[in-house]
Structure 1
Amino acid sequence: MKSINTALCSFGMSGHLFHGPFIDVHPNFNLYGVLERTKNLAQEKYPNIKTFRSLENLLQDNAIDLVVVNTPNITHYNYTKKIIEAGKHVVVEKPFTVTTAEAQELIDLAKKHNVKLSVYHNRRWDSDFKTVKKIIDEGVLGDIVEAEFHYDRFDPELSYKTHKETPTEGVGSLYDLGSHLIDQALQLFGMPNSVFASLDSFRKDSKVGDYFDVKLYYTSHYVTLKSSYFVREPLPAYSIHGTKGSFIKSKADIQETELQKEIKPNTNNWGIEPESEKGILHILKNGDFNKAFVNTEQGDYMAYYNGIYNAIANNKPLPVTAQQATDVIKIIEVAIQSNQEKRIIEL
């Protein structure tokens, strides 16, 4: 198959860091176009890229095979719907949509038009999460009793990106950071039986949520997902406790940092964490407690685009399905309801 001509719907942080570099160096993709209404930032970095001034003009170009929807959350549904109706494959930035109703409509529409629809839950390929998943899959912790995931920051100031601070549907840390943690939890444990959540805002003059504490209740264990903008001293990103012991891991994936330094994702030693960030495994083994450091898996966001290529070119399973991403939105909806009603919500 020829290279997959791919267009971005914007060239902000997402296009500059998380999509452009991977599409550019991937041998089976061609970074063909970008939607920029007034600027030419993408052309400064990629001189051969084609600039479109409207989504309509972009969709009229029959050479485009795949479009990446990396615009503000509230636009995901409308943009994706138009792209599907134009007969092009779509990658949507997380969160997929604002509501599960929107998500299901897009899933049905993609089936009708026979196009691939995936959501960019790239944090499945973080080095730290890959290490956690490996430990759990190996079963060395025994039966999982409790897990706690954190995505914390110390950032009291409001974002300069006004769309992130304007109280509209789909904004706030639960949609932005929570999408990552929820997707990771569902990948490890599946859908929970019920949910309880506390959502709040602590930054001065903040009009959108910047704190969440979401509890996922399973038959045999509990999972807590937390994020705050007022955590100066980092807590472990992952704390997993089972009947045979515990695993503790810091949040230390370096891929975003490498991308910010303009390091290309096809370079040697890509995504390898510092030795100092090894996880701690403390378990009961052969009758004795054994505490050891665990080497971190290599981070690899390129695996997502490898999967997208194989799905389009070879009809292989998508690396992230739209249904999986819809489950994330379902948890967000239920968490919002739980916070409003101050009760546990059964799924």
Structure 2
Amino acid sequence: MTAPLRLALVGFGMSGRSLHGRLIDAVDGLAVGAIVARSSSARSEAAAAFPDAQIVSSVAGLAALDDRPVLAVVATPDASHAEVTEEVLEAGFGTVVDKPLATTAAAARHLRDLARDRGLPIVPFQNRRWDGDFLTVRRVLESGLLGEVFHFDTSMDRWFPGSAPGWRGEAIPGGVDGALGGFGSHAVDQAVALFGPVQSVYGEVAKRRAASAVNDDVFLALRHMGGVTTHVSMALVRSDPSPRFRVQGLSGSFVKHGFDGQQPALIAGGDPRSPSWGAEPESDWGAVHLAGGTETVPTVPGAWTEFYRELALALHGAGELPVSVDDAIHVLDVLEAGRRSSETGEVVRPPS
């Protein structure tokens, strides 16, 4: 049998430990082979969770290993992604980078160019392309039931009256942060994955809570080059959330409430290899609304492990990388355009 491809985790907080580590562990042909954990307590936790992995305290220590991993996963706080990813690439490792790839489009372009110069893969971890509700939207669109689609609503709304906890509540001068950077990296990526590049953006980016250092109430109106309009709502101050998705076509609409449950399931210790992984109860299913009536649509099971399965195939030369780095750069261009639009009151065209 072929030995599993060994990946390294750079960072062993919640993202590295409960998300990336457990997803990698659930995919045949992959293994967590090394972990970079800077604190002694994190190194102890890493050794206990992955006893077969080599534990080091720095990227330099990772590069010095005799049995080097084939790729490193950057799972550090958002503001550090660009700096850590550059260090990983300079050390000779291809990389998966948790979202956002960087906090500015310029930094993301630098990382892309650096990876190309060194002949290394760089893959944004846009895992919500494998959310069950998003996969269901894709299936409904492919069915043709809605006819010509012209409008898409997507919302990521939360009710959190106090300031955001930890590093997520820290402002990033000159970079996308708050709800715009955190939720926007996913919501805009999903819209672009469905309807293609964005040609113009109108944005309203606000801070409603006095205790917050970052934006917490965001609305973006996107005009896709193909003609579809997307409205994106992202907030931490919504006590009555909007539908997660609403897709409107000339023949009908699809509406889905609720939110994919894979992240809380992983944090709670759920097994991504379980046959029931990613399944949603019937009470949470969405519905197609047509002239002839309403039809419930079963939610496609969510499957974040598919990101790593596709990555494994690509590393073996048997497929494409699961997400293009250029997609992540375009998303950052759109988010920056939304921020500029909010500042000027004008519609802004992101770089083509």
TM-score range, shorter chain: over 0.9
Shift of 1:84: 1.7
> Counterpart in 2 of 1:245?
252
Contact 1:241 1:247 (8 Å CA) reproduced:
yes
- 1:187 is aligned to 193
Aligned equivalent of 1:256: 263
The CA deviation string for residues 210-244 of structure 1, in whole angstroms up to 9 with x for no partner, is: 11100002363321000111222232100111111
Q: Could you tell me how far apart the structure 2 residues matched to 1:249 and 1:145 are?
A: 17
Contact 2:150 2:249 in 1 (8 A): yes
Deviation string 1:26-68 (CA, Å, 9 cap, x unpaired) is 2211211222211222223223332211222122224221111
Shift of 1:163: 5.4
Relative to the length of structure 2, the TM-score reads 0.93
Matching residue of 1:92: 97
Whether the aligned pair in 1 keeps the contact of 2:152 and 2:246 (CA below 8 Å) is yes
Q: CA deviation at 1:167?
A: 4.3
Contact kept? 2:94, 2:121, Cα under 8 Å:
yes
Q: Deviations over 1:63-85 (max 9, x none)?
A: 22111111122221222122222
Question: 1:35, 1:15 → 2: CA distance?
Answer: 10
Counterpart code for 1:334? A
Q: State the distance in 1 between where 2:272 and 2:323 align.
A: 20
- Residue from 318, 332, 335 that aligns with 2:335: 332
2:20 match: secondary structure = helix
Cα displacement (A) at 1:89: 1.5
Query: Paired residue for 1:61?
Result: 65
Q: Following TM superposition, where does structure 1 have runs of at least 4 consecutive aligned residues deviating by more than 6 angstroms?
A: none
After superposition, the C-alpha distances for 1:171-219 in whole angstroms (9 at most, x for unaligned) are 2111111111000000011112210000011123111111110000236
Q: Distance in 1 between matches of 2:203 and 2:126?
A: 22
Residues 15 and 306 (structure 1 numbering): CA distance in 2 closer, same or farther, change over 3 Å? same
SS at match of 2:322: coil
Structure 1 gap ranges (5+): none
Amino acid at match of 2:20: H
Within a 5 Å distance, the mapping from 1:44-83 to structure 2 comes to 44-62=48-66, 63-83=68-88
Match of 2:210 in 1: 204
Picking from 235, 240, 249, the partner of 1:233 is 240
Question: 1:208 is paired with a residue of what secondary structure?
Answer: coil
Which aligned pairs between 1:9-158 and structure 2 lie closer than 5 A? 9-38=10-39, 39=41, 40-62=44-66, 63-158=68-163
Q: Which runs of 5+ in 2 are unaligned?
A: none
Aligned Cα RMSD in Å?
1.6
1:251: how far off? 2.8
- Percent of matched pairs sharing the same residue: 30
Which residue of structure 1 aligns with residue 227 of structure 2? 220
Alignment of 1:274-289 (within 5 A): 274-284=281-291, 289=292
Q: Is the 8 A contact 1:181 1:225 kept in 2?
A: yes
Counterpart contact for 2:169–2:212, Cα < 8 Å: no
Relative to the length of structure 1, the TM-score reads: 0.94
- Return the alpha-carbon distance in structure 1 between the equivalents of residues 131 and 308 of structure 2: 14
In 1, Cα distance between equivalents of 2:249 and 2:168:
41
Contact 1:255–1:271 at 8 Å: present in 2 too?
yes
Does the 8 Å contact 1:183/1:325 carry over to 2? yes
Give, in whole Å, the separation in 1 of the partners of 2:71 and 2:260: 28
Q: CA deviation at 1:254?
A: 1.8
Conservation of the 8 A alpha-carbon contact between 1:126 and 1:301: yes
